Amino acid sequence: MKTQEKVVRAEDSLEGAARLRSPSRSADKRIGYLIPEFPGQTHNFFWRESQALKEIGLETVLISTRKPPKEIMSASWAEQAQKRTTYLLPLSWSEIIQVLTVVLSAGPRAWLMCTKMVLDASDMTSRQKLRLILLIPFAAKLVWLSQEQDWSHIHVHSCADAANIAMLATSLSKSRLTYSLTLHNPLCVYGPNQAQKWGFSKFAVVITQKIYQEVVSSLRNCLPQKIEVCPMGVDLASFRRDLTYAPYDGSDAFRVFSCGRLNPCKGYEYLIRSISLLRSQGLNVRLEIAGEDEQGGAGYRQELERLIGDLDLQDSVTLLGAVSEEAVKQGLKKAHVFVLASLEEPLGVATMEAMAMNVPVVVTNGGGVSELVDDGQNGILVPPENSDAIAQALLRISKNQRLAIELGQAAREKVVQSFSYRRSAQAIASMLEQA
């Protein structure tokens, strides 16, 4: 097993090589960078990617659909990002005038193209097509912003309505506005009209091989010429331990950490029930969950609080709410193990962050997680919706210090080799250069 010093030197070498591979002709370019409801609690990766793009000569002009609830804007950089971001909603009176000017000046050809886009959305109901029409003013605002801010391409981190807005904007733009996509989840998550969203895009990034195969199978003849499979990643310099990982030694509590938005898809119910099982077996265990629901605490969080009360786990499970990246790192430093119990996780930046911190991970094998975690080598995979399996995996790590250390060391090495946040930035820059 490599020493920590050797791993650090290898990481520095890889990071340096990544910079050397940066596209040479990308300097002094500016692109729009559209993220729905930015900055949200799970948006650390987007902020890092925008910084990486800047490092290789692509300035990102931040744009979002609307502001998220204040309760989930927890990142240390959130205030800075909010000040830099232009929001499409709501429209002020002066912006309505600008929008009307864009639409009217676009001319009959653009109007016909917009109409055709709506009519050609064959998988949409009449209500959904009406919604598509109602997105045209925001597409017009996007065109106006591209002219005011001097960019002609926008990268969209969503394949839902944000992609529809970008698609409609291309028809209203006189300056050949183009867009690209990053797909973070299975297509079914993002609603209808995928054929057109992808067909009009210039290029795309897909975060896992599994999702890529789904895209190719579903859309076949509607794909852009360039698609690259490129995972999200972590900032290896930031997510690095300053103290060596210490496995559970039987004193005090066995500390379990989890991180992600509070949503039923994250499987927190099964994780919490696994803690109850471990308590019944006599293990002194404590679980902390970092994250908040989309309603700022008024939604799924309340269901979890009731479950914690029903299982009498108030002293064993803590819901931390939306916290900063630094608080997540502190939670990982203290943890003996990280768990993500998602029903189907596309990949999992939170898991990558834990792995980068040398923390052994227990994650469910739904979705594309197996492209990140190799079962028994750098983590433990368990079936989704299975509290017993989670409890057994946690018990195994709590009783085997050597296993915990080896899993954590191998996890860090896996992330260093394949999951730097700079990879996706380089992919976007390279495909944009070739477009």
**DSSP notation for 108-159:** HHHHHHHHHHHHT-TT--HHHHHHHHHTHHHHHHHHHHHHHHT-SEEEES-S
- What's residue 18's pLDDT? 43
E strand residue ranges, 226-299: 226-229, 254-259, 285-290
- What's residue 318's pLDDT? 98
For the record, the structure tokens of 300 come out as 């799924």
The rounded Cα 397 to chain-centroid distance in angstroms is 28
- What's residue 175's pLDDT? 77
Judged against a pLDDT cut of 80, whether residue 23 lies above it is answered with no
Does 99 or 21 have the greater pLDDT score? Answer: 99
- What's residue 15's pLDDT? 47
- What's residue 100's pLDDT? 96
Judged against a pLDDT cut of 50, whether residue 428 lies above it is answered with yes
CATH assignment of 4-233+420-434?
A: 3.40.50.2000
pLDDT confidence tier of residue 8, bands split at 50, 70 and 90: very low
DSSP at 38: S
Scanning the structure block, which residue is given the tokens 């990949």? Answer: 347
Judged against a pLDDT cut of 50, whether residue 13 lies above it is answered with no
Q: What CA–CA distance (Å, rounded) separates 394 from 317?
A: 15
Cα pseudo-dihedral 89, 186, 235, 226, rounded to 10:
-90
Average pLDDT of the residues in 212-229: 94
**pTM score > 0.85 for this model?**
yes
pLDDT confidence tier of residue 221, bands split at 50, 70 and 90: confident
% of the chain surpassing 90 pLDDT: 86
Judged against a pLDDT cut of 80, whether residue 211 lies above it is answered with yes
Single-letter amino acid code for the residue at 337: V
- What's residue 66's pLDDT? 96
Residues 6+ apart with CB under 8 A from 188: none
Round the CA-based radius of gyration of the chain to a whole number and report it.
23
Measure the CA angle with vertex 397, ends 396 and 399; round to 5°. 70
**C-alpha closest to that of 288 among 252, 327, 251:** 327
- What's residue 7's pLDDT? 38
How many CB atoms neighbour CB 215 within 10 A?
22
- What's residue 435's pLDDT? 79
Average pLDDT of the residues in 336-356: 95
Question: How many CA atoms does the CB half-sphere of 80 hold within 13 Å?
Answer: 6
Name the CATH topology of 254-418.
Rossmann fold (3.40.50)
Same fold, 4-233+420-434 and 254-418: yes
Q: In this predicted model, what pLDDT tens digit does every residue of 249-292 receive, in sequence order?
A: 999 999 999 999 999 999 999 999 999 999 999 999 999 999 99
Q: What CA–CA distance (Å, rounded) separates 286 from 283?
A: 9
Average pLDDT of the residues in 216-233: 93
Tell me how many helices (H) and strands (E) the chain has.
Answer: 17, 13
Q: Is the dihedral of CA 336, 337, 338, 341 positive or negative?
A: negative
Q: What CA–CA distance (Å, rounded) separates 369 from 363?
A: 8
The whole-chain average pLDDT of the chain stands at 92
Give percent helix, percent strand, percent coil of the chain, each to the nearest 5. 50, 15, 35
Cα pseudo-dihedral 328, 333, 336, 341, rounded to 10:
20
Domain ranges of the chain: 4-233+420-434, 254-418
Average pLDDT of the residues in 87-111: 95
- What's residue 10's pLDDT? 39
DSSP at 41: T
- What's residue 367's pLDDT? 86
